[in-house]
A = this chain, B = another copy of it.
Amino acid sequence: MSGHRDHRDLSRDAHAVTAPAIPPAIAAIPSADASPVDAAQGGPPPGTAFSPQEREAVYRAIRERRDMRHFAGGQVAPEVLARLLQAAHLGPSVGFMQPWRFIRVADPALRERLHACVEAERRCTAEALGERGGEFLRLKVEGLRDAAECIAVALADGREAHVFGRRTLPQMDLASVACAIENLWLAARAEGLGMGWVSMFDPVAVGDLLGLPPGAEAVALLSIGPVHGFYEEPMLQRERWARRAPLEAVVFDNAWGQPAPWLGGVLPEPPLGAAGPNPGANGEADR
């Protein structure tokens, strides 16, 4: 651990392990000489800052990303699909294990069989929901057959070999895959494409359809493609299934349930889709 060392020691520390073979072009940490501005005194390190316009574009993608279920058919150009998958593959993973596998469903018959799995589970979910089952059945919960592309996502087999960051929290492999999918989602929004994540299926049945080996697990059926429009707020909020909690309800200080008073004074304007001043749209309970 080098927690107490200052930054001038870091490149030396890192080089102690790998000095002989790391070319200067991929040195991880600029040396103190190359980094005269003290980052701790404000501002990002030289050469790494995003312009205000770039920063706002990232926030825009985050703000305008939607879980889409309405698609416009059409196509996604192969180079665009490759960019989206590259974005996913650049996601973080625990111990850099890269546990994600993406299966493009190009065969229409396979897509129909996957859709049938989802439809079967939709019925089971409605039953399990009890009194909200009828309301649930009126929602459009997936657009698998309408979207230009369908990508199944699975956890790879052989994950038990990866202990780094997973000894006590083995589910971090799924967390990594989810981060990769969020990358893909934001990239799709930036490309003007909609995306929806369907998790309403029996993973064993879907795994069989996709030929997954033992140990691999299907976790997502992604619909990706052109849309006629993006929902202006999350569809499940618009449909009164649930509404976004105020940020203050999910942020605490030092212990569960302890309010974070600093948040009140600095909170940015509620984003589109957050509980706002319009009581007709947002001021009611979950139902």
Contact = CB atoms under 8 A, between A and B. Distances in A.
Given A39-B74, A255-B211, A175 B178 contact: yes
B92 A18 contact: no
A16 interface: yes
Contacts of A139: 17
B60 A143 contact: no
Contacts of A100: 250
B203 A169 contact: yes
How many subunits of this chain does the assembly comprise?
2
B72 A38 contact: yes
A277 interface: no
A2 B87 CA distance: 31
Given A30-B229, A61-B58, A201 B1 contact: no
Contact of A187 (B62, B106, B192, B267): B62
Contacts of A285: none
A135 B238 CA distance: 52
A237 B63 CA distance: 32
User: By CB atoms of chain B within 10 A, which of A18, A26, A213 has the most?
Assistant: A26
A153 to B, nearest CB: 10
A278 to B, nearest CB: 7
A167 B239 CA distance: 21
A63 B187 CA distance: 11
B192 A50 contact: yes
A258 to B, nearest CB: 8
